[in-house]
Amino acid sequence: MNYPHPIIAREGWPFLGGAVALALLVTFGGGGLAWSIPFWLVALFVLQFFRDPAREVPGDARSVLSPADGRIVVIEPAQDPWLKRETLKISVFMNLFNAHSNRSPIDCEVMGRWYHPGKFINADLDKASTENERNALHLRTPDGQDITCVQVAGLIARRILCYVEPGVKLVRGQRYGFIRFGSRVDLYLPKDVRVKVAVGQKVRATTTILAELP
């Protein structure tokens, strides 16, 4: 989970190895280069999907960093379904061409974790937050502020991976999970945060500051 880590996510090694092996088999097994081009394109797609570059961490302890690469699709007041409180919700939608490593938005301790099975509708839709498969983490900053960070599966995503449990301490930008093949991450923040992004804006995990805590 900590840096340094491979620039290709370990979750993708079996997929990448299989794709490259199949492309090599077609190339040198009698198919020739022309027949192998589609297989090399698949291998290239797998390579870009599972990229997991190291990122510089900006701001300070009050900065809430993006937990994922993608596009902002929601900024609105919302009821946190996990901690039963009024919050500001910011959602990041991840398409097939975004890096899918999930990283901690704040310095925190994991206070709770909840997993709920569900549907696999388009993660770009608002109802994905309440109907899709999802994994939620209750994160608490050293000064006692609470954030809920929710991994939500998407239309194609079929595997949410989370590597932390209650009691684990995370630092901003630290890798904690992965979602395969399209998804979103919802953040439920204190109502009085100062938002630094806008709906439709493209963001990058760790390097984009979404909001500032009071």
Condensed to tens digits (0 to 9), the pLDDT of residues 103-128 reads 999 999 999 999 988 665 555 556 65
Whether 38 and 104 map to the same domain: the answer is no
Sequence length of the chain is 214
On whether residue 121 sits in a domain, the answer given is yes
On whether residue 1 sits in a domain, the answer given is no
Whether 36 and 142 map to the same domain: the answer is no
Whether 20 and 82 map to the same domain: the answer is no
Residue 133 structure tokens: 């498969």
Specify the DSSP class assigned to residue 27. I
On whether residue 55 sits in a domain, the answer given is no
Q: Rounded to whole angstroms, how far apart are CA atoms 180 and 105?
A: 20
Q: Rounded to whole angstroms, how far apart are CA atoms 137 and 135?
A: 7
Give one DSSP letter per residue of 52-85, joined into a string. -------S-TTEEE-SSSEEEEEEEEEEETTTTE
Q: Which residues pair with 95 in a beta bridge?
A: none
The total domain count for the chain is 2
Given a cut of 80, whether residue 30 has pLDDT beyond it is no
Share of the chain above pLDDT 90, in %: 53
Coil vs helix vs strand at 87: strand
b/e per residue 184-202 (b: at least 16 CB within 10 A): bbbbbbbeebeebbeeebe
Exactly one of 36, 63, 129, 183 is catalytic; name it: 183
Q: What is the pLDDT of residue 1?
A: 43
Whether 42 and 72 map to the same domain: the answer is no
Residue 196 structure tokens: 């630094």
Exposure on the CB side of residue 17, measured as CA atoms within 13 A: 6
In whole angstroms, what separates CA 116 from the centre of its chain?
A: 17
Q: Left (φ > 0), alpha (ψ -120 to 50) or beta: where does 57 sit?
A: beta
On whether residue 194 sits in a domain, the answer given is yes
On whether residue 57 sits in a domain, the answer given is no
Contact 210, 197 (CB under 8 A): yes
Q: What is the pLDDT of residue 77?
A: 97
Poorest-pLDDT segment among 3-12, 47-56, 109-118: 3-12
Contact 181, 157 (CB under 8 A): yes
Q: What is the pLDDT of residue 93?
A: 92
On whether residue 3 sits in a domain, the answer given is no
Whether 29 and 120 map to the same domain: the answer is no
On whether residue 2 sits in a domain, the answer given is no
Q: Which domain, by its residues, includes 137?
A: 63-212
Answer yes or no: 183 catalytic. yes
| Tens digit of each residue's pLDDT (9 = 90 or more) over 149-191 | 999 986 655 578 899 999 999 999 999 998 876 688 999 999 9
Radius of gyration of the chain (CA): 18
| Tens digit of each residue's pLDDT (9 = 90 or more) over 192-202 | 999 999 999 99
Whether 36 and 72 map to the same domain: the answer is no
Residue 201's domain is classified under what CATH number?
A: 2.70.70.10
On whether residue 120 sits in a domain, the answer given is yes
Q: What's the longest Cα–Cα distance across the chain?
A: 64
